[in-house]
């Protein structure tokens, strides 16, 4: 059975047929780099990571593009607060985002365009829309004329008349807004800005591009006028994706994307968080207490279109459940363990490579179940239940060769979902290390007090072998890395 995807545009599950046989052009909206990423960003990144991994596993040649919005009012406002340059702020959070993605084992996209690198293309696109009568200039701004776009609102399932009255209300309540739009629903392709701020020269004067235009223009530049899959979080459906679609399609007279896929939210109860396990505001906070595999399992055990309620209890449950997979994976040949941090390794495991498991009845059945789940709109929840099924069979098996083979398969298929199944049970943090060392120093002090110099020397020498120097100071013994 071919891959089925739920298309937001049609509101239906559809058979996935690439525009060009064997190839997939995939674009997912990336972050606006003005603050640290949180669990919701982690979900979005992991969902798209898994979708592109699975398409590759299926034998498709994928070009996965995830952009960086590095110019935006949010960036400018935050940089004013912090009294630093907007590009400096954007770079800071871009580095942090990359560190988060690396730590989460999210594979890098094939192309990662940054908005500030495509200004000329954005200006050109806005100019072309004006020339075509789809957009107009007003006092240094350029607006998209929604009245000229027949199916505006189709993606977001919005009624244009409702939008108009809603927008009018908004304008009335924001008196400072210039009344230059022909229609309150029209949105900016270009906004004028004072020359003292960040901006670029354009045919309409100094200013900045609109957010929606950024994505339309980057998609056109790196992938072309029509792509297979456009994705993002469900909060982007309207207005962001609606507007991207309106601009691109009005200019090119062809669909921007064949399939529109959207992932749901993570609901985080602030109260629950602060009460139980402290504050997991950022991805880095989360990864201090949970491994990347645990975060991934927590996210992927829910289908990407369903919301997830975060709770420390469910995070803890994911941690426990992951151990079932990790323990079963330990039966694989030792050289297979602990490798594979760099995710591209898993791209070599695809349906062709999976042929090697077809001779084994258990694995052949498992393969069919795994593929059926993932083909069904990337149902990771069901696919993961089959990974657990295989893990239980591995643990129950008494046949060494069989166990080895199954464990190897478990690691390969878990890798398709981006799991490393690395055994992290013996990775202890700095706190634990310090406690163990102070215990050893205490034992050495006790031995010395009892004139048991054999034991005190043994502790000092063994620690030295382990790369720890013990020093006696006026304040008592202390240690440092050799």
To the nearest 10°, report the CA torsion of 417, 420, 425, 431.
-100
User: Which residues, including other chains, have CB under 8 Å from residue 42's CB and lie 6 or more apart?
Assistant: 100, 104, 283, 286, 295, 299
3, 29, 104, 300: which one contacts Zn ion (CB under 5 A)? 29
Give the residue among 344, 325, 482, 338 at the shortest CA–CA distance from 422: 338
Residue closest to Zn ion (Cβ): 215
Report, in Å, the least distance between residue 215 CB and Zn ion.
3
Report, in Å, the least distance between residue 230 CB and Zn ion.
8
Q: Measured from the CB atom, is 106 or 215 closer to Zn ion?
A: 215
User: Which residues, including other chains, have CB under 8 Å from residue 147's CB and lie 6 or more apart?
Assistant: 182, 183
Half-sphere exposure of 306 (CA within 13 A, CB side): 14
- Which of the stretches 24-32, 190-198, 254-262, 292-300 binds Zn ion when contact is defined by CB under 5 A? 24-32
The rounded distance, in Å, linking the Cα atoms of 14 and 5 is: 5
Q: Measured from the CB atom, is 215 or 328 closer to Zn ion?
A: 215
Site track 287-326 with Zn ion (rule: CB under 5 A), x = hit: ----------------------------------------
Report, in Å, the least distance between residue 413 CB and Zn ion.
32
Instruction: Give the burial class of 36: count Cβ atoms within 10 A of its Cβ; 0-12 exposed, 13-18 middle, 19 or more buried.
Output: middle
The rounded distance, in Å, linking the Cα atoms of 77 and 159 is: 32
Contact positions with Zn ion (CB under 5 A) in 233-262: none
- Which of the stretches 21-29, 199-207, 318-326, 405-413 binds Zn ion when contact is defined by CB under 5 A? 21-29
Q: Measured from the CB atom, is 29 or 329 closer to Zn ion?
A: 29
Q: Measured from the CB atom, is 79 or 247 closer to Zn ion?
A: 247
Q: Measured from the CB atom, is 228 or 350 closer to Zn ion?
A: 228
Site track 197-236 with Zn ion (rule: CB under 5 A), x = hit: ------------------x---------------------
Strands (E), 154-217: 187-192, 200-202, 205-209
Q: Does 163 bind Zn ion (CB under 5 A)?
A: no
Site track 389-418 with Zn ion (rule: CB under 5 A), x = hit: ------------------------------
Contact 367, 354 (CB under 8 A): yes
Angle between helix 39-57 and 400-416 (nearest 10): 120
Q: Measured from the CB atom, is 29 or 185 closer to Zn ion?
A: 29
Residues that bind Zn ion (CB under 5 A): 29, 215
């Amino acid at each position: 059975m071919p891959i089925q995807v739920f298309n937001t545009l049609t509101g239906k599950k559809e058979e996935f047929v690439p525009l060009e046989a064997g190839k997939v052009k995939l674009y997912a909206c990336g972050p606006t780099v003005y603050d640290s990423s949180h669990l919701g960003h982690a979900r979005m990144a992991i969902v798209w990571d898994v979708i592109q991994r699975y398409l590759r596993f299926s034998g498709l040649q994928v070009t996965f593009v995830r952009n960086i919005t590095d110019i935006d009012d949010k960036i400018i406002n935050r940089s004013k607060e912090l009294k630093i340059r907007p590009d400096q702020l954007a770079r800071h959070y871009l580095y942090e985002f990359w560190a988060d993605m690396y730590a989460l084992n999210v594979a890098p996209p094939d192309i990662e365009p940054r908005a500030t690198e495509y200004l000329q293309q954005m200006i050109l696109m806005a100019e072309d829309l004006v020339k075509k009568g789809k957009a107009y200039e007003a006092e240094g701004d350029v607006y998209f004329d929604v009245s000229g776009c027949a199916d505006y609102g189709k993606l977001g399932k919005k009624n244009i008349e409702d939008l108009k009255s809603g927008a009018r209300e908004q304008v009335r309540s924001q008196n400072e807004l210039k009344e230059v739009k022909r229609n309150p629903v029209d949105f900016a392709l270009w906004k004028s800005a004072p020359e003292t701020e960040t901006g670029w020269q354009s045919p309409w004067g100094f200013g900045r591009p609109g957010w929606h235009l950024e994505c339309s223009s980057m998609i056109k530049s790196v992938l072309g006028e029509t792509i297979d899959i456009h994705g993002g979080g469900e909060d982007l459906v309207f207005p962001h994706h609606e507007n991207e679609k309106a601009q691109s399609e009005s200019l090119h007279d062809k669909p921007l994307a064949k399939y529109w896929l959207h992932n749901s939210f993570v609901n985080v109860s602030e109260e629950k968080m602060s009460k139980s396990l402290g504050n997991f505001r950022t991805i880095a906070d989360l990864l201090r207490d949970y491994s990347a595999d645990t975060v991934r399992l927590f996210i992927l055990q829910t289908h990407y279109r369903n919301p997830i309620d975060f709770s420390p209890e469910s995070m803890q449950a994911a941690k426990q459940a992951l151990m079932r997979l990790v323990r079963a994976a330990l039966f694989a040949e030792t050289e297979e363990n602990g490798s594979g941090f760099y995710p591209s390794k898993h791209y070599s495991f695809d349906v062709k490579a999976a042929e090697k498991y077809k001779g084994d009845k258990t694995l052949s059945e498992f393969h069919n179940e795994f593929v059926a789940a993932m083909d069904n709109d990337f149902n990771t929840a069901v696919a993961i239940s089959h990974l657990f099924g295989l893990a239980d069979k591995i643990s129950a098996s008494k046949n060494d060769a069989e166990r080895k083979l199954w464990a190897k398969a478990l690691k390969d298929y878990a890798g398709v979902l981006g799991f490393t199944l690395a055994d992290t049970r013996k990775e202890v943090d700095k706190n634990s290390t310090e406690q163990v060392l102070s215990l050893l120093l205490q034992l050495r002090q006790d031995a010395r007090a009892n004139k048991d110099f054999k034991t005190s020397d043994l502790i000092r020498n063994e620690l030295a072998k382990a790369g720890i120097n013990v020093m006696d100071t006026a304040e008592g013994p202390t240690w440092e890395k050799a």
